[in-house]
Chains A and B, each alone.
Chain A
């Protein structure tokens, strides 16, 4: 479509310029030659008023058809939540897997539908490689979809020139990791800059600092790799990355986010749910009369199927089944064990 309108425009431009140049030469002012008075040419006027209309109708129709195709996502699309904020992108995959900031991975040959929102001002999500763009508006959801047909090559880089055409040398990741080539995601709705702070191009820790650096890395990976990534669940929070007690730290964060409302960690007897301090390794008496040691398997089952084994004294169990990944469960167990020390 782009090339069609491109050649139409080139043809018109050449025709108009050629006519101008020819007339400018042929009818340049010469002594003794007067201009001919302008006559009427109504037929000609009508022709060039209405003939272009046919072309315009074709252009409109083609453009609209393409637009509708882009506006309606296939039903089996993979959904990913996108949150825009000054000046970063956050991507949440199914199962609550929130990826590294400004990093979007999608499986190849799969329609992907993005459901986007903004927590502050207008942003606009733009991937030039897929020719998709949509404003991200506070107070409402907007969506777009695309299907990637090629995987992005796995190339480490130090500058954009190291990457194959169309890729950029992505954001600086947190920690000590190498930068990798990725498809660029731009923000194309102006969203400002911090006042009085020097905004450098590639900011530390994968965070961006103004409208023009509000860029994301888009990596197209195989379906298997994507499934593995979802299985593995979300990575540990950035606050814990690189620490020696990373698992305990992560478990504590999960506790603070999901569990603290019902489970204390100070060892006191409490309702509505058992305190975690001193719980691990303890003998548990259940309402059906049986008992068991609170080992790794017991904790895992209690989190994934809270109603299966109910401890005496806690008859009214409202705990929802949580869908944590193995890594998250390990972290919770590690945290519980650390409470006993």
Chain B
């Protein structure tokens, strides 16, 4: 943005003081019927955090039960329901919508310099569909007895309690929310970019969300069909998956993973997308190999469609199919590796600031590296035969999903919190929380790698005595992790109640979203922006654009100098 052509960002902040998106309209109705993508994003964030809390409580229940072999605090049947709910809530209600629906909704239009998404009404519709799906899911939890695992494998799920129908209907509905959001974002990225924002300047966050949207639109319908078939089988006893009715249970696994493997990339790509922004900001440097990183997101999205079979190496597929899926699976390592190498290379010759968002981003790189490399073990056929369905797999996907996506999500929340709320938070508390979360996470899940390689099967309520010390360590880690989240929650609540007022660009970032006022103007920018530089062109920025205090202080400081 040159000084002549565009509005000086920080002057807009002062001229629209008090007219942020949070306060320009008031009352419950102004929220429930809002078409503002920022408010919808905030409502998503609220419901997603509630789901995260619920799923987290389930996780602690699971870990508490597993501290000792045999019955510790609940029966096997109860335990099976609890771990099912932990998985289903975390996957469908939390991780899948977390970054795209909450942070994506809020920042995608701003980073494009647009006023809103392409279809604001559809956007609100997606939110209410998400809520409807959530209601179905919660009803299934309260009324029924869902103990199938989040994968709903047949024929167990076909014979289980009818509340499984409620649960699958809930997930079915949630899928539509996901599809519509994807369509909306794709249209927005194609059509709503500000003048001057060509594809080579597109923020990498947008590239990541764009790749995610493609998967959401293409893969989610398959899940919808699968769950619909499952529901039809259960209600009308049509034989599709249940061998007792003439169906094929392995067919369900193919259908299910045809969605759920791409869904893994729906989960991880947005996490990577956030990390790009954070690393660029806190190194004051454009991401190394920008185009390679952008294309690696797209290629992950595409390759992600071809590797579903690696969930089924022991399921009874032909040896040829197994071979092909194993070979394709290794291709995933290439774009993942490209990203990690480029992030590390971005640190080189940067100017690195270790604020809490950056700590989570660096934590992401470390944990994703471990999560990714342990994926190699599972891609190697002969090794997978031993590790399949053991705690090794559990640890692997938690390293990718929690160490990856959740760390990315937390990094994003810490990073954009001042922009969203207009408040700063206590950095010391945030670092304490990070330390607890990072240590707790590693203690919880690294011990599970060891257990898994020793043959501890997953989804076990009871286990052999030899695994007890490691289970104990894992549970201890889970409590540290939980404590970290409590500190974080307290830190954010404190910020909302009594946090300092945030300047428009507290991290001194060159990113487009930091050019607008804080809290964000209801129309994102007071005047439509024109992009004259890339979002990471620190060397092209004027001093004023990177100023991390209040604009009026900048003038003062300049005068003093």
Contacts and interface: CB of A to CB of B under 8 A. Distances in A.
A, B assembled together:
yes
Interface of A: 1-2, 5-6, 8-9, 12-13, 16-17, 19-20, 23-24, 27-30, 33-38, 41, 44-45, 48-49, 52-53, 56-57, 59-60, 62-71, 120-122, 124, 126, 128, 131-135, 137-140, 142, 159-161, 168, 184, 186-201, 209-213
Given A12-B373, A63-B382, A197-B77, 16 more contacts: A1-B383, A9-B377, A13-B370, A17-B366, A27-B283, A27-B348, A35-B283, A38-B286, A38-B346, A45-B342, A60-B327, A69-B382, A140-B316, A190-B80, A190-B156, A199-B75
A126 B77 contact: no
A33 B351 contact: yes
Interface of B: 69-71, 75-77, 79-80, 145, 147-149, 153, 155-156, 159-160, 243-244, 247-250, 283-290, 292, 314-316, 319, 322-323, 326-327, 330-331, 333-334, 337-338, 340-342, 344-354, 362, 365-366, 369-370, 373-374, 376-377, 379-386, 388-390, 453-455, 457-466, 536-539
A39 B442 CA distance: 35
Contacts of A137: 243, 249-250, 315-316
B457 A186 contact: yes
A9 B76 contact: no
B156 A121 contact: yes
B386 A128 contact: yes
B381 A63 contact: yes
Given A45-B292, A186-B455, A200-B71, A210 B76 contact: yes
Contacts of A124: 314, 389
A63 to B, nearest CB: 3
A29 B376 contact: no
Given A135-B315, A161-B465, A198-B75, A23 B344 contact: yes
Given A63-B382, A66-B381, A160 B156 contact: no
Given A23-B347, A34-B351, A139 B243 contact: yes
Contacts of B314: 124, 133-135
Contacts of B380: 1, 5, 59-60, 62-63
A209 B77 CA distance: 11
Contact of A213 (B149, B333, B388, B462): B462
Contacts of A64: 323, 326-327, 381-382
A59 B331 CA distance: 12
Contacts, number: 274
Nearest to A141: B316
Contacts of B76: 193-194, 198-199, 209-212
B373 A59 contact: no
B381 A67 contact: yes
Given A38-B286, A160-B465, A9 B316 contact: no
Nearest to A59: B380
B348 A66 contact: no
Given A35-B349, A137-B315, A201-B462, A16 B340 contact: yes
A125 B331 CA distance: 30
A138 B352 contact: no
Tell me which of A29, A44, A57, A134 has the highest count of chain B C-beta atoms within 10 A of its own C-beta.
Answer: A29
A190 B389 CA distance: 9
The dominant DSSP class at the A interface is mixed
A138 B292 contact: no
Contacts of B319: 67-68, 71
Contacts of B454: 128
B80 A48 contact: no
A201 B69 contact: yes
A24 to B, nearest CB: 6
Given A134-B314, A201-B70, A192 B147 contact: yes
B395 to A, nearest CB: 13
B326 A60 contact: yes
B79 to A, nearest CB: 8
Nearest to A215: B464
B492 to A, nearest CB: 25
Given A9-B374, A142-B316, A195 B459 contact: no
7 A-B pairs with least C-beta separation: A128-B455, A66-B382, A139-B243, A63-B380, A67-B381, A23-B347, A212-B460
B369 A12 contact: yes
B333 A23 contact: no
Contacts of B346: 38
A45 B366 CA distance: 20
B538 A35 contact: yes
Contacts of B362: 20, 24
Nearest to B539: A37
A20 B347 contact: yes
B112 to A, nearest CB: 22
Contacts of B370: 13
A24 B283 CA distance: 10
Given A2-B377, A27-B347, A48-B337, A133 B463 contact: no
Nearest to A23: B347
Nearest to A39: B288
Given A1-B383, A63-B383, A192 B156 contact: yes
A63 B345 CA distance: 31
A209 B80 CA distance: 13
Given A8-B376, A27-B349, A198-B71, A120 B155 contact: yes
A159 B458 CA distance: 22
A39 B455 CA distance: 48
A44 B289 CA distance: 9
Contacts of A140: 243, 250, 316
A102 to B, nearest CB: 15
Contacts of A48: 337-338, 341
A63 B326 contact: yes
A127 B3 CA distance: 70
B347 A59 contact: no
A331 to B, nearest CB: 35
A126 B322 contact: no
A133 B156 contact: no
